[in-house]
Amino acid sequence: MSDEMEGGENRKKIMFIMRKAPHGSIYSYEGLETVLITAAYEQDMTMAFVGDGVFALLKGQDTSSIGIKGFIKTYGALEDYDVNKIYVDRQSMEERGLTLDDFAIPVEVKQAEEIAALMEEQHATIPY
């Protein structure tokens, strides 16, 4: 990693948009991997969970019956990586009958318009 990559003036706003359910496809899992790696580059990172993506944050996930390694615990490590801006789209949450109490980590619920406005501020948005 070069010096200029380590934050400072080159610190860029990057938003990861998590759109898929955690299981059934690998998008959510591999998406989270990119979040963790990018965090090592000390960028100004945001995660937005929209659509079925909100299911990725459910607490009490048990993947033993589908024979897939779960990764909900990895979300608990985001704080250690200084990834603190974690937003859930309100409509996506409510359409799926979920409330803040259902999530395994602290998140902030935002209106779609607020998330859209945040997207406008980003240097890059990366959809998974």
Partner 1 sequence: MKFAVQVLEAPYNNQASDTAYNFIKAALERGHTIVRIFFYHNGVINATKLAEPPQDDRNIYKRWTELGKEKGIDIVACIAASKRRGIKDGHIVEGTRISGLGQLADMMVEADRLITFG
Interface with partner 1 (CB under 8 A):
1, 5, 10, 12, 14, 26-27, 30, 33-34, 37-38, 40-41, 43, 123-127
- Which residue's CB is nearer to partner 1, number 33 or number 108? 33
- Cβ-in-10-Å burial (0-12, 13-18, 19+) of 9 comes to exposed
**Shortest CB 127 distance to partner 1, Å:** 6
- Which residue's CB is nearer to partner 1, number 75 or number 128? 128
**What distances in angstroms separate CA 117 from CA 11, 106, 110, 114, 126, one per listed residue?**
20, 21, 11, 5, 15
- Which residue's CB is nearer to partner 1, number 19 or number 110? 19
**Shortest CB 38 distance to partner 1, Å:** 4
- Which residue's CB is nearer to partner 1, number 80 or number 101? 80
Residue 23 in tokens: 């299981």
**Shortest CB 29 distance to partner 1, Å:** 10
Partners of 87 in the β-ladder? 48, 108
Q: What is the DSSP letter of 64?
A: G
Residue with tokens 């963790």: 36
